[in-house]
Every structure is written in structure tokens, then in C-alpha cells.
Amino acid sequence: MNANKIDWDAYLDVAYVSDVGMRRSNNQDSYAVNLASDMNSWRKKGHLFIVADGMGAHAAGELASRLAVEQIPHIYRKYADFSPPEAVKRAVIETNAEINRRGQANEEFHNMGTTCSVLTLLPQGAIAAHVGDSRVYRLRGKRLEQLTFDHSLVWEMRAANKKSGEESELANMLPKNVITRSLGPFPDVNVDLEGPLPIKLNDTFLLCSDGLTNQVSDEELGALLSNLQPADAAKVLVDLANLRGGPDNITVVVVRIKNPEMTTEESKEAPLVIGDKPQSRHIPLLIWVLFGIFLVATIITLAIATVQAIFLGVVTLFFLGLIVLRAMGVGSGGQKVTGGKRFGKGPYTKTDGTARDDLVASMNGVLMDLRKAAVEEKWKVDLAFFDKCVNEAIASSESGKLDSAIRSYAKAMSDLMDQLRKNGS
């Protein structure tokens, strides 16, 4: 057992759920939670979280998303000498090439693809690498921010109209599920980087596929995340998407910062450096030969002439320095990411996640429909705890305690959905 291994439960609260949904026969979503092996590894490369939403006939989408969540952490950690933003970008690009290669090699997997959202939590801040329309959010207090840009036809059109100063209804008429960028279909891919963004205590990060965001609004995401613990929030978000039809696979990863050591405010690590290309650790034979020649010449000359010995000694030390620098893998210098510098233009949306009357009423409506179905269909469920929680929620709502109402409705939903899953209803 590694004595340096850390129980990260004291530092992070992490929860994840991936569900097939109500209308799909297989789950083409994948996710990964790749925590650092120890504190030193976290300081260098941080924690990695991924959500991928696969696309393609038969098992192609499943394969594409699975390759993404398996390959990216492995390649990212392999690039130990590169800065985290450069390493994660290389990992996504190389994974795209592998998915494309596998797709071209097998006719059944031809043109398979996957979205990919990667969140890296580092001492210097949060970095997101992103392709497609799966999303990364950050909740701070009651404010929910979308850190990634949707690579979808709708978002691209809206961005183009905004740049040109035009307003068009065309973007609102376009289908929401058409994406403009993904891993796999082409040998090359453009990867967006966002961050580093500051990390504070109790910040909550959400990674999710569009199976969630197409059914649950940002206002609801913020209200539920701010009122529930990550494990409860992950379950309720998936349940709510399913109760609204669940037309797609739904994947949710929730990460909450529990310990000040995981915040940028407590970090004493050096800033991130980009463009610092590590030199090869290989030491050419010629350098060894020249070093040996000048070392022998220095020793011989010491017995004859001091001036020549000093000269040869300096040259010998020069070659010794080259050997040491090569062995250490010293880079060629780069640019520090300091003073508020960051990649990307996120956050792209900011939403008030405060519980509101309409959000509470919406949850009440969903649960009343669920209860009605349970009675009419004679499901084998016990409604006692469900009714108790709903009554508590109604009382809280009437007295203006909307946060409490949200929590009570969430308990009711989880209880009844858990019973239905156990009974196979």
C-alpha cells in the first residue's frame, strides 16, 4: 500500500450518475473521475474529470465515448514534462486521432464520434478542455456559470449574429442537437481551453451531457446544486430529466470543494507556464566524447601549465553543465499565466440559482403527476414518506422558505424513484 496515498474524501465531495434515460436501449455516455495518486501528483497535474457523449450507429457511440474517458487521463499523466493546459490539450488531440483511426479501420464504427468535456482542478485554478456540447459549470454561492461554449449550430449562429450586431430568429428555429465539433469523425480537431479560473471553498463544479441540460434549465440546476449535497444533487438531476421524458442518456459528475487546500487562495504553487518545451533527456554520444577528451586533457595539462589547465577546465565544466541540464530535462523557457491571464472567453452564461416560486411550482407539478401515475397504474410503492415530504415542501413554500421547499421536494422525488427502480416499475 502506498503510504503517501490520500483519502480525497476529506478534500473533495464527488458524485456521479450515468443513466440510459427513458427512450434509449443503450447508454452511449461515459465519464471518468481520475484523482491524483498523492498530494505531490495533485500539485503537478491536479484532478481530472471527464464526461463524453458518444454518437454513432450500433455500438460506435459507446466505443467512442469509452475511448475518450480511458485514453485522455492516461495520455495526460504521460506528459509529465508539459504544463497541465498543454498536456490536457495534447491528450484530447491524440485521443481524437485514435478514435478516428479506429473508426476508419472498421466499417461498423465509421464516422463514430463523441463530445468531450474535461475539467482539471489544479492548485493554480480550474481548466476546462472542451469539444462538443457537453458542458462544464461552476456554482459559487447562488450563481451558476457555464464555463464552456457549446459547439452546436445554435450557439455558433448566435455567436455569429452577436459579432455582426445582428439579431436573428433563425438561431431559435435551428435544431438544438446539431453539433459542429466532436472527437472522432476527422483526424484533426480544434480543442477549446478555458481557465485557469479561481477555485474557492464550497465551489461546486458540474459536468454533464446534453441529456440533462435539454430537460433541466440552468435556473433549476443552480437551485438544486446550491441546496443539495453532491450525491443527492446528482441523483435528483437525473431523476428530474427522466421524469420529463428522458429522451436521451443522462450523465452527471458533481464536484464540491471541501478543503481550503484545494483552493487557489491557499495555493503557494508557481504559476502555470505555457510554451516551455522540455528538452530531451537523451545525452548525445558526441557530448560524452568531448567531455571525456577535455577532462583527460585538463588532468594532463595540470601537471604542465596552469593557464592551459584553467582554459581546458572551463571548457570541461561547460560540457558537464550541458550533460546536467539534459539529464534534468530543463525547458527552453515559456510564458507564465499570471495577472488574470487565461485561455478562452468563459464563463459564457451566468444564471441566478436562487430558488424561486416558479421553480418550486414546477417541481410540485412534476411530483403530483408522478403520484397520480403511481395511483392510477397501481405501482407497488409506499407513498407515506413521499406524501410527508411533499406536505413539508408545500408548507415551506407557503411560508416563503423556498430553499427548504426545494430540499423537501428533492427527498420526495428520490424516495419514490428509488422504490420504482427497486421494483422494476
Nearest partner of 208 among 268, 134, 283, judged by Cα: 134
pLDDT value for 267:
87
CB 378 within 8 A of CB 372: no
CB 251 within 8 A of CB 29: yes
Residue 228 has pLDDT above 90, yes or no: yes
CB 78 within 8 A of CB 85: no
Average pLDDT, rounded, for the chain: 88
List the single range of 178-187, 249-258, 298-307 with lowest mean pLDDT: 298-307
pLDDT value for 303:
60
Mean pLDDT of 371-385: 95
Instruction: Name the pLDDT band for 214 (thresholds 50, 70, 90).
Output: very high
Domain residue ranges of the chain, discontinuous segments joined by +: 8-268+343-352, 279-330, 357-423
C-alpha grid cell, residue 187 = 483526424
Angle at 377 between CA 374 and CA 383, to 5 degrees: 25
List the single range of 144-148, 166-170, 198-202, 237-241 with lowest mean pLDDT: 166-170
CB 120 within 8 A of CB 127: yes
pLDDT value for 299:
62
Mean pLDDT of 402-415: 98
CB 346 within 8 A of CB 128: yes
Q: In Å, how far from its chain's centre is CA 28? A: 18
Candidate ranges 77-86, 153-162, 319-328; pick with highest mean pLDDT: 77-86
Mean pLDDT of 4-23: 94
Q: Tell me if the domain spanning 8-268+343-352 has CATH number 3.60.40.10.
A: yes
pLDDT value for 291:
52
pLDDT value for 37:
95
Q: Which residue has the higher pLDDT, 146 or 313?
A: 146
> Quick one: which H or E segment has residue 304?
none
